[in-house]
């Protein structure tokens, strides 16, 4: 396959629309007869609503209807009682947002309150082993740790965090003839359609979800939360389209979050730096009404070759709403524990942290006992160390100062499972030679609209300008959730397969057509470049083939799936991340000065977008390590800092020069960018 568009440093095809306001986000669609819904959130963490008074709110001018009975809806949490602080107890529908907001403030509820526990560190509350995360053990971890020459044994904690994309959760719901259309800020239109259909008891075929533009997601838009269902419910009840947009404060109760976690990690090593024992116990906060685990034990189990390993995962259900995936879900928390322990061990051994990792590089995935598809961590360490200037590091803590500041360097290994899922696409060539490719995917920011177009353009032998990739509509061919780094590997692969099949169909038609210059040629000898189908002597075009057949267009739908590949190989993207920080020892103030990372993420389709993803991940890491943390007032379960004024995210002053390099694979791996 000629690759001319893949690998080009293209800017986003929708960049101009985004920066000029021409891109229409979910809440911005102009729908005739639109009404506004505002959710009233409960103010206890556990109990029942004993009385709800709506009269005053209903009397407010513009307020049309107040819905308080959700008993017919199937929501993720119980509907007959309060399971968490902030649970919706009413929806106020009004002619204007202002009237609905004021009306919501006039709704009065009284509760039959029960004792609630929202702090998962509360002593003597039970924890459980989640069904999907059984304990893992190999060798004799306890014995190996006891007899190890050098040990580290750490207790670590991480705070709850909220995604805080700039675009807030927003839904417009419109019913027409029993069919529901949603404009929803979701990372998975087809998942949203299924959830809403299930919640309302209607056929999924009667629900269509549009999500062409997303203003960030980070995992907060994977699941379909109450506000989406309540918008659809309210629209059906009042017989008019209804829009619901959560406020920033409501966002903290109305979607999931990265769960808080408690870790114990112990490593046992020989004095030569060969790690013989690893024990990892982790415990996370969870809702009572559903179990969500987050893959924390994934990397500690396999990232290094450790013959005696034990991991144990526990969840502690309390009276909170359910956590969910958040950028680098789970993996970043488990890796925080593992890499902190490895750093500590390197310090104890006085071995360079990179050297320690190299000494424990596994030859296979020791959990599944499968070979790695590729594992170029060694190259990542080397490239990263060279470009970052690791040789200037002074290993003794506190040995490099600037004025009152301590300056330090550190590094960590990055790894993420290469997720691929069944996916479909439709590709259509029009009589004017332009191409549209369709899949029910989404683009929350990585640039999927651009990068998947690049895949299609190369498969069809066309320039980028001829191809448009259309996503953001649940009626398009099946796509997986736009999350977990699976979009390019899944949707990109489906588009690649489908466009190749469409090209083959055109070639088949050409060689069979007596009027084609390619008539009678062997299809295998026909190549496509710049829209020209050619052999050494003759050529035809997509346009001419359609013209001769008197077709306005020709399309094909194709499917792709990873099949059983995961039962044969262990596939991960890897990297080595290096940081230089200053620490003010008086104040404990940490400032990141620079970060450099060397990644092996397989074949990079769109280098500019991939680079944006790499440095964007670093910004997320700065937030996670130094700034972010959701604080709960455990007296009632209220979140104290549920605003962008109080919840710190990295701003420009926190983000220094960031850079990343991607290795070029020798062989083609499954493609991915985000």
Residues in touch with other proteins (CB under 8 A): 404, 584, 586-587
Beta-strand relationship, 532-534 and 539-541:
antiparallel
Min dist. Cβ of residue 85 to other proteins (A): 18
CA angle 307, 665, 7 (to 5 degrees): 140
DSSP state of 465: G
Supply the minimum distance, in Å, between the C-beta of residue 119 and other proteins: 12
For residues 343 and 333, what is the distance between their CA atoms, to the nearest angstrom? 15
Q: Tokens in use for 257?
A: 């979050």
Q: CB nearer to other proteins: give 524 or 645.
A: 645
To other proteins, the closest distance from the beta carbon of 227 in angstroms equals 31
Q: Which is nearer to other proteins, 525 or 646 (CB)?
A: 646
For other proteins, the closer CB: 395 or 585: 585
- Greatest alpha-carbon span in the chain: 84
CA dist 629 and 641 (Å) reads 9
- Closer residue to other proteins in complex, CB, 153/404: 404
Q: In terms of CB distance, is 550 or 586 closer to other proteins? A: 586
**531: exposed, middle or buried (C-beta count within 10 Å: 0-12, 13-18, 19+)?**
middle
The pairing of strands 638-639 and 632-633 is antiparallel
Shortest distance, CB of residue 625 to other proteins, whole angstroms?
18
* Beta carbons within 8 Å of 358's beta carbon, 6+ residues apart: 378, 381
The minimum distance between CB 635 and other proteins, in angstroms, equals 11
Burial 7-45 (b: 16+ CB within 10 A, else e): ebebebbbeeeeeeeebebbbebeeeebbbbbbbbbbbb
Q: Burial-class residue 237 by CB neighbours within 10 Å (0-12, 13-18, 19+).
A: middle
Residue 327's closest CA among 446, 433, 174, 430?
446
Q: Which is nearer to other proteins, 31 or 405 (CB)?
A: 405
Q: Enumerate residues 6+ apart whose C-beta is below 8 A from 407.
A: 400, 401, 580, 581, 582, 583, 593
Residue 589 CB, shortest distance to other proteins, in Å, is 9
Kindly state the smallest distance separating residue 466's Cβ from other proteins, in Å: 57
Cα 136 from Cα 567, distance rounded (Å): 18
Closer to other proteins at the Cβ: 150 or 648? 648
Yes or no: say if 628 and 647 are a contact pair by the CB < 8 Å rule: yes
Closest distance between other proteins and the C-beta of residue 45, in Å? 18
Nearer to other proteins, 111 or 120 (CB): 120
The DSSP H or E segment spanning 544 is: helix 542-548
Question: Which C-beta is closer to other proteins: that of 487 or that of 632?
Answer: 632
Least Å distance, CB 587 to other proteins, is 6
């Amino acid at each position: 396959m000629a690759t001319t568009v893949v690998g080009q440093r293209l800017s986003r095809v929708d960049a101009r629309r985004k920066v000029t306001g021409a891109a229409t986000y979910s809440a911005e669609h102009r729908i005739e007869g639109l009404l506004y819904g505002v959710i009233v959130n409960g103010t206890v963490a556990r109990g029942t609503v004993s009385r709800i008074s709506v009269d005053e709110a209903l009397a407010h001018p513009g307020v049309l209807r107040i819905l308080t009975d959700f008993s017919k809806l199937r929501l993720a949490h119980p509907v007959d009682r309060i399971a968490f602080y902030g649970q919706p107890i009413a929806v106020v529908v009004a002619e204007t947002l202002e009237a609905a907001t004021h009306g919501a403030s006039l709704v009065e509820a009284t509760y039959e309150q029960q004792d609630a526990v929202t702090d998962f560190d509360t002593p003597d509350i039970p924890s459980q082993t989640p069904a999907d995360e059984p304990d893992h053990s190999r060798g004799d971890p306890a014995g190996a740790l006891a007899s190890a020459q050098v040990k580290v044994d750490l207790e670590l904690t991480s705070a709850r965090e909220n995604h805080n994309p700039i675009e807030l959760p927003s839904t417009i719901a419109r019913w027409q003839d029993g069919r529901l259309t949603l404009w929803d800020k979701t990372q998975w239109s087809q998942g949203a359609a299924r959830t809403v259909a299930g919640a309302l008891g209607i056929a999924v075929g009667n629900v269509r979800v549009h999500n062409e533009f997303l203003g960030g997601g980070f995992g907060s838009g994977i699941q379909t939360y109450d506000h989406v269902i309540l918008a659809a419910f309210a629209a059906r009840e009042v017989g008019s389209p209804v829009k619901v947009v959560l406020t920033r404060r409501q966002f903290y109760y109305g979607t999931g979050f990265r769960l808080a976690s408690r870790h114990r990690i112990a490593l046992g090593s020989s004095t030569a730096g060969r790690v013989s024992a690893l024990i990892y116990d982790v415990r996370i906060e969870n809702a009572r009404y559903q179990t969500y685990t987050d893959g924390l034990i994934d990397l500690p189990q396999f990232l290094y070759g450790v013959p005696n390993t034990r991991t144990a995962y526990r969840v502690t259900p309390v009276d909170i709403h359910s956590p969910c995936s958040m950028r680098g879900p789970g993996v970043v928390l488990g890796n925080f524990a593992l890499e902190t322990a490895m750093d500590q061990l390197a310090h104890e051994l006085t071995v360079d942290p990179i050297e320690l990792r190299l000494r424990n590089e596994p030859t296979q995935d020791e959990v599944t006992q499968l070979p790695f598809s590729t594992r170029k961590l060694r190259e990542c360490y080397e490239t990263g160390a060279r470009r970052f200037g690791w040789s200037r590091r002074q290993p003794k803590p506190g040995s490099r100062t600037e004025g009152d500041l301590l300056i330090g360097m550190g590094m960590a290994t990055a790894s993420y499972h290469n997720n691929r899922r069944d996916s479909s696409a439709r590709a259509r060539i029009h009589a004017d030679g332009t191409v549209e490719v369709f899949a029910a995917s989404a683009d929350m920011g990585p640039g999927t609209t651009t990068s998947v177009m690049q895949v299609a353009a190369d498969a069809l032998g066309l320039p980028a300008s001829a191809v448009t990739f259309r996503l953001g509509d649940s009626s398009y061919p099946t796509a997986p959730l736009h999350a977990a780094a699976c979009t390019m590997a899944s949707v990109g692969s489906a588009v690649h397969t489908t466009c190749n099949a469409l090209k083959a169909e055109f070639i088949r038609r050409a060689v069979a057509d007596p009027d084609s210059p390619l008539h009678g040629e062997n299809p295998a000898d026909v190549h496509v470049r710049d829209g020209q189908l050619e052999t050494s002597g003759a050529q035809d075009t997509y346009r001419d083939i359609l013209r001769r057949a008197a077709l306005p267009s020709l399309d094909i739908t194709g499917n792709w799936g990873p099949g059983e590949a995961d039962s044969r190989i262990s596939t991960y993207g890897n990297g080595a991340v290096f940081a230089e920080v200053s620490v003010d020892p008086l104040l404990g103030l940490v400032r990141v000065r620079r970060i450099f990372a060397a990644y092996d993420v397989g074949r990079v389709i769109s280098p500019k977008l991939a680079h944006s993803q790499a440095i964007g991940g670093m910004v997320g890491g700065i937030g996670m390590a130094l700034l972010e943390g959701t604080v709960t007032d455990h007296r009632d379960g209220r979140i104290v800092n549920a605003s962008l004024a109080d919840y710190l995210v990295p701003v420009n002053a926190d983000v220094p020069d960031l850079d990343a390099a991607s290795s070029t694979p020798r062989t083609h791996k499954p493609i991915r960018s985000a």
